[in-house]
A and B are shown apart, each in its own frame.
Chain A
Amino acid sequence: MKENKKIIEVLIAICSLFFILVGYLTYIQVFKSKEIVQNTYNRRQYQADENTTRGQIIDRKGIVLAFSEERDNTQQRIYPYSSLYSHVIGYNSKVYGRSLLEESYNNYLLGLDEYTKVFGLFKSSNQDKKLGNNLSLTIDHELQKLGHELLGNRNGAVVAMNPKTGEILALVSKPDFDTNEEVLAKGWKAMVESQEAPFLARATQGLYTPGSTFKVVTAAAIIENGLDEERFNDKGVITIDGKEISNSGRKAYGEIDLKKALAVSSNVIFAQLGVTLGQEKLEDIFRRVGFGTDITFDIPVSKSLFQYEKMEPNDMAAVAIGQGKILVSPLHLAMITSGIANNGVIMKPYLVSNITSPTGKEIKSFKREEFKQIMEPDIAAKLKNMMQEVVDSGTGKKAAIKGIKVAGKTGTAENELTAQKKDKAHAWFIGFAPVENPQIAVVVVLEYSGSSGGTIAAPIAQKIMDNYLKDK
């Protein structure tokens, strides 16, 4: 029957239409849905926000750093210290989304744990507002404020951590910005276009050449290889593979040992020893201190870079004095410093100490945890001793605190700008105190400061350590 044949054709046509529907629906789901859901006009994104009073964020002593409040019928996130925590807590904005802790702990702050997600107790018609959970940070507000003030309007970062526990005590990045919604909206466009990159969290995501501070890492390898007993002749300048390396001010120190070489930050001797160690041993110590390892932290951290395949002798020399193609984040350097202070063991850094429900019940707490062992305790002990010498008699004198033994190392790092013009080096200081029982490890970096680490970074670290230890 001709008609029946045509009816079957109609059936096939209609079925194809249905299959096209299924195909297109799948296509939306697989390729488009993520983008569609994130559209700012999709009010679902803010649904949970609307129904929940977002939890508070407090420092280690209970000072409120962020809270939410009902204003004109909408919930507003308020940051009482405006820009102080822009690179720690971040922002929570209806327009610009969320960042840092506000983003990584969003579900906790909104009180959405896995249980409520699955059995879905965030519902449409709300009788009363839910309260989110509160975060307690390891941050010491006074110390954070001090770091912020000391940096002033210079760009850079200050990281302070407890070397024995991994608690982050202060995490300052400059430039920063006011995270309160209204101010954020006003300045957003200018900030996005700004060359200063105010959105870059220098302390965690900024990558810098570490400069002479990295001599402590090289020194660890030198001690491990038994070269610390020898004496070396420093003529102020050395030529390696046709490339000249000189001390600061081309100063010649003559016959000195490793301790003295570190104290005066002799480029000549460390470069020379770098070549002696060779690629394998240098790479080994770098890998051990955490190059190429992802640092899991409460907020995103840039991975430190060691960009060599095959090293030439002048590469080894450069790397040994913290120059060349190596980049570290201030947080990572603070971890390495803590590792030395903590007898060779780096503790995992953390920002959030515990999460409590609105009724005060502890939901989750974070305990100290080992990150990795970077060197044997005896090596660390020798390094500590050498680093103390840096502060006692070397380049780091300005970090000295009366009555307390301080260990440290200065750095003045060449970078892409110093190649063209002088006076653009990064000023570094790393240190910890008290040497015999380290309570605090500090890293200070002032980018493109044009001054030496010993002159401008060391005093900042000194004040922070002094303040913290006095406070205890």
Chain B
Amino acid sequence: MFGILTYRKPINYIILLNLLAYLFIFYNLKSYKFETFAVGLGIILLVCTTYLIIIKNRLGDEYLFLIVSMLLSLGVIMIYRLDNDAGIKQTVWSFIGLVMFVTTCQIFRLIKIWDRIAIYYVGLSVFLYLITLLLGRNINGATNWIVIGGQSFQPLEISKIIYILFLACYFKKPNQLFFEGMGFSETKKEKLNKLVLVLFTFLNVFFLMLQKEWGSILLISSIYIIVLYVYGKNTLFFICNIVMTIPIVLFGYFFVYHIKVRIDTWINPWADIAGKGYQITQSLFAISSGGYFGTGLGLGRPDMVPAVNTDFIFSAICEEMGILTGVAVILLYMLLTYRGLKIVLRVKKRFNKVLGLGITTMLGLQTFIIIGGVIKLIPLTGITLPYISYGGSSLVSSFIILGILQAISREDYADVGGEIDEGE
């Protein structure tokens, strides 16, 4: 009975964190709302239930989910502290996300056609971009939201997953993707397929440019380059791709005002604190105010930072929980990347391997791009911090990704006889 209360079980730390955090919020925010505890217990319940499902059904690697649930808890805590209503919504989204996580994990395992429907990926991707272009609403300065039945979401979150699925299809058999049985010679076929890959990548970049999603462009290009580096057989082609990005970046800097502003404010945000440098300087104020241990939950002023729920949530964590928690968060993402790539290393199937690699690098790089942006290490691009930032579509798509990774890990373990605790 008391066996569950052991310090050896990492899940207990997550429960403890939640209990303490919501107690602090309850006391420090002085609104004394009992819904605070409802949110906290809700999250604990969600996390524990999902964890049990993973253990009981032997869904593969348990640490992936443990790391993510810690991040998720920190996210909901911070969002609830900043905005109670948003926190409740985020709890609901967490529920949906976790359902999607388990569902995706099962669907991905049971339906085995994912590597054969490349053409549909292209079609769906184009369709999503086009409806965004046609029906997109402007929310928070970006015209890439679709509103259906009062709920808004960003299709580009799905597009990113589709792009990785497509990459996996391509690298499974680089010269047999399309144009099979159309009478082309092998070399011709290979070249045509390579062309499709490049064109599809450019298509993504092009549509993202229309949406001014520079962060996502950076992300997709990086994944493309990394996967190409690992699986591309042709070094010359790889170098060509690298070289090609240089004029694009230069073009962006000199001719796209938006990018130039981002880079200039990155180099010296202090020149125009009240104007262009506002976001980044406010973020730095928040981070610096926290010190090593933070001001304490509910005791700082992260609400002074714009978009603090989404892009700048890391600054809020640093202000109220301290740089040390900030470092801990970074290390959790590092562990997640490590865990993900470790699974990828053991997977046998080429399709799953590429998919896992793409997903894991996407999580890692997305984290680097946004945290690096808010601490002024690299130019700021507005993307969300996976599992922590407020927002339904971001959270749900991150959980879909995790579901896929979980499913891949299960196959990996299935290969070695369904052993869950490998004891390494």
Contact surface of A with B, Cβ cutoff 8 Å: 3-4, 6-8, 10-11, 14-15, 17-18, 20-22, 24-26, 28-29, 32-34, 36-37, 39, 41-44, 47, 119-120, 122-125
Contacts and interface: CB of A to CB of B under 8 A. Distances in A.
Contacts of A25: 287, 318, 323, 326-327, 330, 375
Nearest first, the 8 A-B pairs at minimum CB distance are A120-B299, A33-B288, A36-B288, A18-B334, A42-B285, A6-B230, A14-B364, A11-B341
B135 to A, nearest CB: 36
B309 interface: no
Interface in B252-273: 270, 273
Contact of A7 (B284, B287, B334, B345): B345
Secondary structure at the A interface, as helix, strand, loop or mixed, is helix
A4 B285 contact: no
Nearest to B363: A14
Interface in B333-371: 333-334, 337-338, 341, 344-345, 353, 357, 361, 364-365, 367-368, 371
A29 B230 contact: no
B107 to A, nearest CB: 26
Interface size classification for chain B? 35 or more
Given A7-B230, A41-B273, A124 B291 contact: no
A39 B303 CA distance: 18
Contacts of A7: 230, 341, 344-345, 357
Given A3-B231, A120-B299, 4 more contacts: A21-B372, A25-B323, A39-B285, A44-B300
A14 B323 contact: no
Contacts of B301: 43-44, 47, 124
B45 interface: no
Contacts of B303: 124
Given A10-B226, A18-B334, A41 B327 contact: no
A18 B333 contact: yes
A42 B372 CA distance: 21
B304 interface: yes
A10 B341 contact: yes
B334 A24 contact: no
19 contacts: A3-B230, A7-B345, A8-B341, A11-B337, A14-B364, A14-B365, A17-B365, A18-B367, A21-B371, A22-B327, A24-B372, A28-B284, A28-B375, A32-B288, A33-B288, A33-B291, A37-B285, A42-B289, A120-B295
Interface in B288-327: 288-289, 291-292, 295-296, 298-301, 303-304, 318, 323, 326-327
B29 interface: yes
Contact of B285 (A15, A20, A24, A44): A44
B274 interface: yes
A21 B230 contact: no
A44 B299 contact: no
Given A10-B361, A36-B284, A41 B337 contact: no
Contacts of A24: 372, 375, 377
A18 B331 contact: yes
A24 B378 CA distance: 11
A15 to B, nearest CB: 6
Nearest to B332: A18
Contacts of A33: 287-289, 291
A344 B283 CA distance: 58
B330 A18 contact: yes
A6 B344 CA distance: 12
A28 B287 contact: yes
A234 B363 CA distance: 94
A41 B281 contact: yes
Contacts of B333: 18
B368 A18 contact: yes
A55 to B, nearest CB: 22
A10 B357 contact: yes
B184 interface: no
A42 B368 CA distance: 26
Contacts of A37: 285, 288-289
B424 to A, nearest CB: 16
Nearest to A23: B377
B8 interface: no
B223 to A, nearest CB: 11
A123 B299 contact: yes
B229 interface: yes
B337 A120 contact: no
A17 B373 CA distance: 13
B323 A15 contact: no
Given A21-B377, A22-B327, A14 B361 contact: yes
Contacts of A47: 301
B28 interface: yes
A122 B299 contact: yes
A123 B330 contact: no
B56 interface: no
A7 B323 CA distance: 30
Count chain B CB atoms within 10 A of each CB in A6, A29, A39, A122 and give the residue with the most.
Answer: A29
A26 B292 CA distance: 9
A123 B29 contact: yes
Contacts of A22: 327, 330-331
A371 B173 CA distance: 88
B112 interface: no
A364 B177 CA distance: 81
Count chain B CB atoms within 10 A of each CB in A3, A24, A25 and give the residue with the most.
Answer: A25
A21 B287 CA distance: 13
